[in-house]
Chain A
Amino acid sequence: MTDDTDQTRTDGSGPNIVPPDDETPTWHERKERSEGLSRVTYEYFERGRLEDQRLRQDSDYIERDVLGFPTWPHETIRNLSIASFFVGIIIALSATLPPHFGDEADPSVTPEIIVPDWYLYPAFGLLQLDPINPELALLGGEKLMSDELYGIAATTVVIGVLFIYPFVNKGSARRPIEEPFWAAVGMGGLMFGFTISVLSIDQIVADRMPGLTAPLIFDLTLLLPLVTAFITYAVLKAMQEGYMYELNRRYYRLRPPR
């Protein structure tokens, strides 16, 4: 009988059991986290959740049963067929065009033509911009930067532009026609990527194509991108008006431009 008074019993009574009353926090109250960062976090997400709920209630948008393209079978089969086609092309090319293999490395013999793989042509071409490396009269016609450093600086600029690009070109426009300027920048950049690649192998190109000389290639490297950008801008600007009518009618009603 003494056991009964000391120990917790199966019916929930006992010396150490405090019955729940108004003072005891409920589960919901405990979840609310009454202090510190956890409280701020809770309030932030709770506000977001309520906002979502409110938006959903106020919205007159009719939710469709199917919001997207079905994954099976449509998307899956399409992707599988594209994938097998692509891997098939790799294998077919590998079987028909095995890679070139040159002579053994020899530090004492400099090959006539040093070329990297094609995807390094742009970087290689940026190293050959030394004719426009400014010579400062202050330094007695000496260059401020070595030609290699100048090439590295040019590469850094290109990569830097790529990095900050989405933070510079903001807004919700998506089609090139909506922003002729940025489309022109893109086409100019694309053309510069091509011409700078040609510049990196200008010796080979000049040998193969008698009309092109190395200085001409250099001039074209800087001119063609500008011309391309200008033409792109002019064409898109001329097309824009007629095109925007359709865009306004179909699409801006759903997504007003910022």
Chain B
Amino acid sequence: MSVKPQDEFDRKAWLQEQDLTHLETIYLKILIYFDTRFRLVDYLEMMESLYYKANLQMPKSHTEQYNLDNKFWYWYPLYSLGLLTLLAYIVAAVSGALLGLYYAPSAEGDPSTAYSQMIFIMDELDFGLMLRSIHRWAAQFMVAAVFLHMLRVYFTGAYKEPRELNWVIGVILLILTIAFGYTGYLLPWNQLSMWAGQIGLEMALASPLIGEWLAQLMFGGFEVGQPALMRMYIVHVFLFPFIVTGLIIVHIGIVWMQGIAEPH
């Protein structure tokens, strides 16, 4: 008693039904011979799925979907300017925290402690010049990215309903970013810092009604000196980081909730 091998698919009968030339019959018989032994069909399926996986189409990006290629404002990198702002902010925060280990906000002494600490960071500290350089460039990039981000939002109409409030938060963030840069500009306590501070002081004093109060609040007096440097330092390393980080979280959270404004 032996078990007769059976062809479930009845390939022989199928072959008889076909109207084939001699050559085709021989070819198919050989193919059937190997297929019954090696299950070639499985490997064929594998090859086929590999082929389709390798040649998967990338989904069309939004610019392609809306037929917006060659329209400048819908160029994808412009849509990543917000992310770039955040990245530059993070880079500036990390390098700024490291710089803070060596900087001292004091205008006392000759040369002043702040200035000589800057010289120390740049000349003697390992990687100090690089660290300051990174901090400064990240700040420049952040301001530039914020500004370009605003332009992109303007020219693609992304501020419109229901996103007006996020635009307002964005304008506040723009002002805070510039103020962040201004307070940082004063910290090295070189000539430009001090005289930029002088301009700021004059502007504060020129404000109607609250001028003197504002000058005292921001600069700690009516001339740019130690109190002003100290206040700028506290605003730069303590006050603004909290406010700006919080607002960035809210800003991005709202984008998350509302989704990216569809380009049209």
The answer to whether A69 touches B122, judged by C-beta atoms less than 8 angstroms apart, is: no
The answer to whether B195 touches A111, judged by C-beta atoms less than 8 angstroms apart, is: yes
The answer to whether B160 touches A152, judged by C-beta atoms less than 8 angstroms apart, is: no
Q: Is B126 in the interface zone, CB < 8 Å from A?
A: no
The answer to whether A104 touches B61, judged by C-beta atoms less than 8 angstroms apart, is: no
The answer to whether A94 touches B137, judged by C-beta atoms less than 8 angstroms apart, is: yes
Tell me if B's interface is mostly helix, strand, loop or mixed: helix
Q: Pick the interface stretch among A46-54, A112-120, A212-220.
A: A112-120
Alpha-carbon separation in the docked complex, A159 to B175 (Å): 9
Q: Is A30 in the interface zone, CB < 8 Å from B?
A: no
Closest to B58 in A: A74
Hey, which chain B residues are within 8 Å of A114, CB to CB? 192, 195-196, 198-199
Q: Is B84 in the interface zone, CB < 8 Å from A?
A: yes
The answer to whether A106 touches B160, judged by C-beta atoms less than 8 angstroms apart, is: no
Q: Is B181 in the interface zone, CB < 8 Å from A?
A: yes
The answer to whether A176 touches B130, judged by C-beta atoms less than 8 angstroms apart, is: no
Alpha-carbon separation in the docked complex, A168 to B67 (Å): 29
The answer to whether A105 touches B84, judged by C-beta atoms less than 8 angstroms apart, is: no
Give the contacts of B142-197 with A (CB-CB under 8 A).
143-144, 147, 151, 154-161, 163-164, 167-168, 171, 174-175, 178, 181-182, 185, 188-196
Q: A86-B84, A148-B206 are in contact. Are A124 and B190 (CB under 8 A)?
A: no
Q: Pick the interface stretch among A5-13, A95-103, A133-141.
A: A95-103
The answer to whether B83 touches A83, judged by C-beta atoms less than 8 angstroms apart, is: yes
Alpha-carbon separation in the docked complex, A104 to B112 (Å): 8
The answer to whether B264 touches A102, judged by C-beta atoms less than 8 angstroms apart, is: no
Hey, which chain A residues are within 8 Å of B122, CB to CB? 98, 101
Q: Which of B168, B175, B196 contacts A116 (CB 8 A)?
A: B196
Q: Is A151 in the interface zone, CB < 8 Å from B?
A: yes
| Chain B: interface residue total (CB-CB under 8 A) | 78
Hey, which chain A residues are within 8 Å of B198, CB to CB? 114
Q: Is B73 in the interface zone, CB < 8 Å from A?
A: yes
The answer to whether A119 touches B171, judged by C-beta atoms less than 8 angstroms apart, is: no
Q: Is A162 in the interface zone, CB < 8 Å from B?
A: yes
Q: How many A-B residue pairs have CB under 8 A?
A: 176
The answer to whether B118 touches A101, judged by C-beta atoms less than 8 angstroms apart, is: yes
Q: Which of A119, A127, A174, A175 contacts B143 (CB 8 A)?
A: A119
Q: Is A82 in the interface zone, CB < 8 Å from B?
A: yes
Q: Is B48 in the interface zone, CB < 8 Å from A?
A: no
The answer to whether A127 touches B203, judged by C-beta atoms less than 8 angstroms apart, is: yes
Q: Is B231 in the interface zone, CB < 8 Å from A?
A: no
Q: Is B133 in the interface zone, CB < 8 Å from A?
A: yes
Q: Is B80 in the interface zone, CB < 8 Å from A?
A: yes
Q: Is A37 in the interface zone, CB < 8 Å from B?
A: no
> A116-158 CB contact bits vs B (8 Å, 1 = yes)?
1111100110010000000000000000001011011000000
Alpha-carbon separation in the docked complex, A152 to B206 (Å): 8
Hey, which chain B residues are within 8 Å of A123, CB to CB? 178
Give the contacts of B204-225 with A (CB-CB under 8 A).
205-208, 223-225
The answer to whether A82 touches B192, judged by C-beta atoms less than 8 angstroms apart, is: no
B128 CB to closest chain A CB (Å) equals 10
Closest to A110 in B: B195
Hey, which chain B residues are within 8 Å of A210, CB to CB? none
Q: Is B141 in the interface zone, CB < 8 Å from A?
A: yes
The answer to whether B189 touches A82, judged by C-beta atoms less than 8 angstroms apart, is: no
The answer to whether A104 touches B182, judged by C-beta atoms less than 8 angstroms apart, is: no
The answer to whether A119 touches B147, judged by C-beta atoms less than 8 angstroms apart, is: yes
The answer to whether A172 touches B137, judged by C-beta atoms less than 8 angstroms apart, is: no
Alpha-carbon separation in the docked complex, A101 to B168 (Å): 36
Q: Is A253 in the interface zone, CB < 8 Å from B?
A: no
The answer to whether A117 touches B182, judged by C-beta atoms less than 8 angstroms apart, is: yes
Q: Is B242 in the interface zone, CB < 8 Å from A?
A: no
The answer to whether B80 touches A79, judged by C-beta atoms less than 8 angstroms apart, is: yes
- Mark A residues whose CB is within 8 Å of B: 66, 69-70, 74, 78-79, 82-83, 86-87, 89-91, 93-95, 97-99, 101-107, 109-111, 114-120, 123-124, 127, 146, 148-149, 151-152, 159, 162-163, 165-167, 169-176, 183, 186, 190, 246, 250-251, 255
15 residue pairs of the A-B complex, CB under 8 angstroms, read A78-B76, A83-B84, A97-B133, A99-B132, A102-B191, A104-B191, A105-B194, A119-B147, A120-B178, A127-B203, A152-B206, A170-B160, A170-B161, A173-B157, A176-B155
Q: A104-B112, A175-B264 are in contact. List 7 more A-B contacts (CB 8 A).
A: A79-B80, A82-B77, A105-B190, A106-B194, A118-B140, A166-B161, A246-B67
